[in-house]
Amino acid sequence: MKRALVTGGCGFIGSNLTKELVKQGWVVDVVDDMSSGHLELLGDLSPRILPNASFLNVYSKQRSSNDVVVVQCDFADAYLLDYIKLKNYDVIFHQAAIPRVSFSVENPSLTSDVNITRTVLLFEACIDSVDRVVFASSSSVYGGAEFMPTYESQEKNPKSPYAWQKSTIEDFAKLCFDLYKLDIVCLRYFNVFGPGQYGDSPYATAVSSWCHAIKNGLELRSDGDGSQSRDMCYVDNVVSANILSANSDHDFMGRCYNVACGDRTTNKDILYFLSKGRDIKIRHADWRAGDVMHTQADISRAEEELDYKPLVRFWDGLDKTLKWWGIE
């Protein structure tokens, strides 16, 4: 029975991952500082809540295999790092981050502290302590990709502090194997969406913010002329890629994989679909700083080496997402 720590496990991707790991028989601990996490996203798991990581040593002796523990603290908390060093986990799924591109443009030092400095502290604790780290990277490392579909060997060209932060940790992941034999796999997520992704923040992703607006009778914001396109990846695909990576017999050595569907959809097309049969108003805004125009992944490396395949395509995923929001 494998033991896992999911950082950011009360967030959108982390909560979906946690629920699937438990379903597959993993023993799971979650760490989340609750800055953007929501306990209710863990659904029917009924987790045991620990106010800080100092309780882990005591509680770990009492827990049953089907317990899920949520530690409400920073993922680089000193007590938690010490607990990791005691070899309590087989795999760490590092999902926690400050993920918004525009927020990183406005707050480069704050986001660098979380996305680089604290992540390095976490990886350092994992040396000689865990079998593998699965790191949530981002397609934003490519910047405005010269070639599409974009393959992993294409030169990186980050256009925002957030993208640079993810790129920096990818580089560090390779060093971790070369210097410390810590095996890290980097998954480059492309525009993840789905149930559990809230849209009530100015930094929310397009699909979640549009669903929030429809649900609450608000205007839908459209940046630029809407011609930008994205390889939209439903969250179940990302969860699958994480677990395939964790279970793989490969030594990854910091290797990177695109996690996407291999196609793309424009904002205009999505807004047109959302407007059918609904009385919605669209507010046009300027282009967002740091955004790229188009993304589309080549997923052949993940298909060949991880046995990954998209489980849910975009339009089916959008239907599932609208149902989660209660939007008919």
The average pLDDT across 57-81 equals 86
pLDDT of residue 240: 98
pLDDT, one tens digit per residue, over 99-120 is: 888 899 999 999 999 999 999 9
pLDDT, one tens digit per residue, over 261-274 is: 999 999 999 999 99
pLDDT value at 16 more than 80: yes
pLDDT value at 64 more than 70: no
List all residues 6 or more positions away from 102 whose beta carbon is below 8 Å from its beta carbon.
160, 202, 203, 288, 289, 290, 291
Question: What is the residue extent of each domain of the chain?
Answer: 3-192+235-262+292-312
Confidence (pTM): 0.95
The average pLDDT across 201-206 equals 78
Contact 280, 220 (CB under 8 A): yes
pLDDT value at 222 more than 70: yes
List all residues 6 or more positions away from 113 whose beta carbon is below 8 Å from its beta carbon.
none
Which residue is associated with the tokens 């991880």?
Answer: 306
Count of CB atoms situated within 10 Å of the CB of 221: 16
Domain 3-192+235-262+292-312, CATH:
3.40.50.720
Give the torsion sign (CA, 127, 132, 137, 141). positive
pLDDT of residue 62: 67
pLDDT, one tens digit per residue, over 129-172 is: 999 999 999 999 999 777 899 999 999 999 999 999 999 999 99
Choice among 52-66, 98-112, 233-247 with the minimum mean pLDDT: 52-66
pLDDT, one tens digit per residue, over 291-300 is: 778 899 999 9
The average pLDDT across 214-224 equals 93
The average pLDDT across 4-9 equals 98
List all residues 6 or more positions away from 26 whose beta carbon is below 8 Å from its beta carbon.
1, 2, 3, 4
Q: Tell me what the pLDDT averaged over the chain comes to.
A: 94
pLDDT value at 288 more than 80: no
